[in-house]
Homo-oligomer: A and B are copies of this chain.
Amino acid sequence: MPKTKYDTIYRDLKTKIETGDYEYQALLPSEHVLVQTYDCSRNTVRRAISRLVSDGYVQSVQGKGVRNIFQPVPQSSFTMGGIESFKESALRNHQDGRTRVILFTVLTADKKISARTGFPMGTQLFYIQRIHYLDGKALIINHNYFRYDIMPGLTREIAEDSVYEYLEQTLHMTIVNSKRIMTVEKVTEIDEKYLELNLDDYNCLAVVTSQTYNSGGVMFEYTQSRHRPDYFRFQDNATRKI
């Protein structure tokens, strides 16, 4: 549900672009027109447009207008982009997602863990290992570290479903920001075992490590996700700072 006025405009324009109301390279209605259609101020229209720009949907050109540069991408394999739980991604891709928990423990961050994850020394953490399956195939092996004090009620059952759903719907926590680093690493024995890999094929994995912050500005999660390379695809949209 859109909560604000600019969010309403943003979503409306976004679906219009996605459904092809504007052709590729065509100009959207001018800000002045949009102000009248949505009965709002110019600032509000501009906020909506600036979100579309950072989505890579449109491009503003001074003196001309706002150009549609949206091109639908073939959504094969497992595409990730924004902050999304595995369950949401599976749903979006209309596929059957399942999760298996292979380890569920609580530990305290020592020097080594603290250095790797960014949590302060002595922080109590859930350490969870999970395998994500899509249409019966093991795609991802996840190493999650969650702050214990923020979600003491976390259980193995929740981890088998969706931690994010629990955080948002039960704890009413909002996830805001996620810093991610992507690398390529050699397959380990654990990867090989749980992802059922054949080393003659790919001997590497796509590895995404992420630090995630909630709306209070505290980091509550550190995760390393190890992806089967043949089903991995990461999207991004960058803008050049002048």
Contacts and interface: CB of A to CB of B under 8 A. Distances in A.
Contacts of A122: none
Interface string A12-39: 0000000000000100000000000000
Contacts of A113: none
A180 B235 contact: yes
Contacts of A215: 61
A27 to B, nearest CB: 9
Given A69-B217, A182-B234, A238-B82, A59 B229 contact: no
Contacts of A180: 235-238
B59 A238 contact: no
A93 interface: no
B82 A183 contact: no
Contacts of A216: 61
A59 B213 contact: yes
Copies, count:
2
Interface in A28-74: 53-54, 56, 59, 61, 64, 67, 69, 71, 73
Contacts of A92: none
A162 to B, nearest CB: 14
Given A184-B232, A202-B186, A59 B176 contact: yes
Given A54-B54, A183-B233, 15 more contacts: A59-B176, A61-B215, A61-B217, A69-B219, A82-B240, A174-B240, A177-B238, A180-B235, A182-B233, A184-B202, A186-B202, A202-B203, A204-B229, A206-B206, A234-B234
